[in-house]
Structure 1
């Protein structure tokens, strides 16, 4: 069985684009498990991951295509938590969505996509912003 880790932020359109990119790969859904993960960096209200529209919509797209989907909420640094989740679930592929940022924006705020890509030996599927 293959495992795909789909790391989503709060943007629903990006999450749907990520889910659709998995569906477009024409994988055998019966032998592919998808884990939708959202990393909370600030969650003072104590929201549950199942309350996020992005998680619900990505899950719905994947389940409609026949995938076994689990959801998970984590807290902390997004790069570290995505990599830890991939390790814990022995993910074959990590999928993330990129966002356009200026070079200065990347330097000041970092890039989760870049951090994941540069710090893993796992395959990474990057869904570009224009796809979202």
Structure 2
């Protein structure tokens, strides 16, 4: 089995990655690291760069765990794409990062994290970034 983490190059994404690395090490499972970008988007701040992936690779190697990177694209719904990958790989745990959003922001934009929490058919670990 494996653990899946949704990674974005932000403090929240890094907190989720660190929690997922810890869980993978504790459970002796492979870590599946997913970074998705919208199909056709010329610029997407959530897409990991080569430097980001080098930092991720260093963290995973330092922890001594097996990992696999999945870079995917989605057309309409990021949540559906992420849950599809989780099901396809039959993961034992989903790890996601949470960021603070206002009620109005959630209403207007929706919340991928909330939908993953409600729609996932397996355990979900939700992580917040530490405030500095």
SS in 2 for 1:130: coil
Shift in alpha-carbon separation, 1:67–1:74, aligned structure 2, 3 A: same
Cα offset, 1:9, TM superposition: 2.1
Partner residue of 1:60? 58
Q: Which runs of 5+ in 1 are unaligned?
A: none
Tell whether the 8 Å contact from 1:15 to 1:58 is kept in structure 2 after alignment.
no
Cα offset, 1:114, TM superposition: 0.3
Partner residue of 1:7? 6
Q: Deviations over 1:51-97 (max 9, x none)?
A: 35444433321221011011011111210111000011101111110
Partner residue of 1:129? 129
Query: TM-score normalized by structure 1?
Result: 0.81
Partner residue of 1:115? 115
Q: CA RMSD in A?
A: 2.5
Supply the distance in 1 between the matched residues of 2:13 and 2:51 (Cα, whole angstroms): 9
Supply the distance in 1 between the matched residues of 2:53 and 2:127 (Cα, whole angstroms): 16
Query: TM-score normalized by structure 2?
Result: 0.81
- Alignment length, in residue pairs? 126
